[in-house]
Amino acid sequence: MALSSISVMSSNMITPSKAVVVKPTNVDFLATIGTFTTTFSGTAGSYVATTQKTITGTQYYNGTYYIKCNLWLVEGTLPSPTTSNLGFMFDGNNNTFCSSVFSGGTGKFNYSGNQVGFGTTTYNATTGAYTQGATYYTTYIINYVGDYIDVYYPMPVIMKKYKIMTRIDALTRYPRQLYFFGSDDGTNWVLLHSFLNPSSTANTYTETTFPTTTNSYTKYRMVINSVNASAGGFWNIANINMIFDVA
């Protein structure tokens, strides 16, 4: 009888349920990760320019984030340019900006590290089309060429939106045709979205909403395939922000 009672009690015991982990969604990159303000000089090689920031002490965002670009940029604060900080595109400040190569500006490097484009524009000054092909170390993913900007995350994320703001006193210099890619190894890239930007407004973000997807990546690339035809052959970007879900 005692054994029967123990058996009944055991069958009615409730197994504790596991806590449900709800990971952050619609994360604002600039607000959460903070600004990239470390200055750098850049080095020739597979990437010409790199800056980074390491986050600690958080539940979901710990690790090192990298911003990478295939060229030496002309960066500056209005109205005087400097050549120091790729993070100007990721500082949330409308009065700082980055510019692609233009006549009389800084140069860019090919894959071997040789400076081959000093003082020349990257895009056609009349049509806005990308002019360099595979001559420089640029993105060459099938037929998608152009200057590129990468963001590397320390964890997989699902991209929801890109938000781009043009230099506020040079609104014609917006990136026109954009392509967005995702990757986990930095070599094999998946096209996620294309975007044609018809215009730009001062102090206003142009948003690019990605199609609904559950695919996550640790690396994202924005390829600037063309610029506005009246931009003189180069682009200016004041701010880039990404909205993502932690996978």
> What is the band of 17 on the pLDDT scale with cuts at 50, 70, 90?
low
CA 196 to chain centre: 17
Predicted TM-score (pTM) of this structure: 0.81
pLDDT at 90: 86
> What is the band of 234 on the pLDDT scale with cuts at 50, 70, 90?
confident
Domains and CATH numbers, the chain: 25-246 (2.60.120.260)
Q: Is 44's pLDDT higher than 70?
A: no
What is the phi/psi pair of residue 89, to 5°?
Answer: -80, -10
Task: Give the model confidence (pLDDT) of 52-108 as tens digits.
Answer: 889 999 999 999 998 887 665 555 555 444 444 677 788 888 888 887 765 554 444
CA 105, CA 198: separation in Å to the nearest integer?
A: 26
